[in-house]
Structure 1
Amino acid sequence: MSRHDLTHPLEDGMPVYPGDPDVAVSPAATMATEGYRVTELALSTHAGTHVDAPSHLLADGATLGDYPIETFAMDAHLVGVDAGPRDPIGPDALPDERSADVVVFRTGFDAHWGTPQYRDHPYLAPETADALAERGQHVALDAASPDPSPPAGGTEDADGPETDANGEQAGYPAHRALFEAGLLVFENLRNLDALPTRFRLEVFPLRLDADGAPVRAVGVVD
């Protein structure tokens, strides 16, 4: 059995989704002054590699506390995405086999982490998200979102990015389709190239009854 760390490190000043609070990692106590170390960590529930719960966008959506702990140890099906920047991922990308708890999309955009290009990731077409919602499968990906992210220098409104890659209103349709089905979204994974098509995904969040939380994502291969 092997384990592969799929998690971006939490670091001071690391990339965050546009509009989210910055991540700050700073000493609260040091060996020089207090004789011990304590580190202060400031971040949002959607910093780094993390999980989105339905309450992230739905007023009456489930929070992380509504999911039993076994939810976060999943049978995963990895899908390699052949899509360019800001291309939609159509339902033909979905595997025929539906037994997995989560479909993991490998876009390769983790290679652009920390650069403006990271925002130009492919995203799930609405019909793809609808199909996953119907199947009851969670979603994970090595990109910032299953919906289009605002481009560098772009803006967004309360319903999501002002426009998608085609200049149309976005409004997070993939998130909403999945959330309305009670499903979870895991964002900003990395190192998916190291995994086979089928593996075990362990993505345990902080014990926080909220709209999301950072996770330690691990791929387990028998």
Structure 2
Amino acid sequence: MRVIDLTRTISNTTPVYPGTEAPSVSVVNTYEESGFQETLLRFYSHTGTHMDAPKHIYPEGISLEKKEVSGFVGKACIIDVTDVSAGGIIDFSFIQRNKERVEGAEFILFQTGWDKYWGKAEYFGEYPVISEEVARYLVEKQKKGIGLDNIGLDPISDLELKLHHIVLESGSMVIMENLCNLDLIGEKEFLLVALPLKFENSDGAPIRAIAIL
């Protein structure tokens, strides 16, 4: 068995969506003063490698702490879309080329290669995004979730978040953003475990996502 971490570390320098407050990770109790170490964490629910719940977009949508925990674990496949140019569309041909793998998976992860820009200004640029056709197809196939190695499912310029609305409307799917290390998996079959931090009224939460091969 091989386990691969797909999760970014949250720190004071973690890139965040434009307009969002940066996280703060600070030691407030030290061994010298208190005899133990304790850290104060302050960050938004969609910080780092995280998961979006239907409640992120829909007021009556389900929040993460109310979802069955089985919705965070399942067979997954990675679709390599690194040949899609900046600002390009991941169209349905990628689904067709990987049809057997997609049909057998519960989570579909798109490897855009954009994680190479993590920590750089380009990370918030014109990254590739899936088409509405792809989004609707995955909803129709009742997948558990979609994941990407970039900052968001929608283009950063789309304030209406059309793709988020499509994917989260059913109430059964989740979105994972800011994944990493997808290139270490390739086309191998694997089990995805993506457990969100559990807190009340969770519209989204940081996750510890791992691939078990």
TM-score, scaled to structure 1: 0.87
2:204 aligned residue: 212
Counterpart mapping for 1:59-78 below 5 A: 59-78=59-78
Displacement, 1:104? 0.5
Aligned to 1:100, which of 101, 105, 112? 105
Structure with the bigger percentage of helix: 2
Displacement, 1:186? 0.6
For structure 1, list consecutive stretches of 5 or more residues without a partner in the other structure: 151-159, 162-170
Aligned to 2:151, which of 144, 155, 159? 144
Q: Secondary structure at the match of 1:32?
A: helix
TM-score, scaled to structure 2: 0.91
Percent identical residues:
33
Q: Secondary structure at the match of 1:117?
A: helix
Aligned to 2:180, which of 170, 185, 190? 190
C-alpha separation in 2, matches of 1:125 and 1:220? 29
Displacement, 1:92? 1.4
1:84 aligned residue: 85
C-alpha separation in 2, matches of 1:86 and 1:51? 23
Counterpart mapping for 1:31-180 below 5 A: 31-81=31-81, 82-94=83-95, 95-97=98-100, 98-120=103-125, 121-137=127-143, 138-150=145-157, 160-161=158-159, 171-180=160-169
1:157 aligned residue: none
Displacement, 1:6? 0.6
Aligned length: 203
Q: Counterpart amino acid of 1:87?
A: G
Q: Counterpart amino acid of 2:178?
A: N
Q: Secondary structure at the match of 1:13?
A: coil
C-alpha separation in 2, matches of 1:134 and 1:37? 48
Counterpart mapping for 1:9-24 below 5 A: 9-24=9-24
After superposition, what is the alpha-carbon deviation per residue over 1:57-91, rounded to whole angstroms, capped at 9, x for unaligned?
11211111231111111110110002111111111
Q: Counterpart amino acid of 2:112?
A: T
Which moved further from structure 2: 184-193 or 30-39? 30-39
1:165 aligned residue: none
Runs of 4+ in 1 over 4 A off after TM superposition: none
C-alpha separation in 1, matches of 2:163 and 2:77? 19
1:166 aligned residue: none
Q: Counterpart amino acid of 2:46?
A: H
For structure 2, list consecutive stretches of 5 or more residues without a partner in the other structure: none
Superposed CA RMSD = 1.3
Displacement, 1:203? 0.4
C-alpha separation in 2, matches of 1:124 and 1:146? 7
Q: Counterpart amino acid of 2:99?
A: D
Displacement, 1:31? 2.1
Q: Counterpart amino acid of 1:218?
A: I
C-alpha separation in 2, matches of 1:106 and 1:12? 26
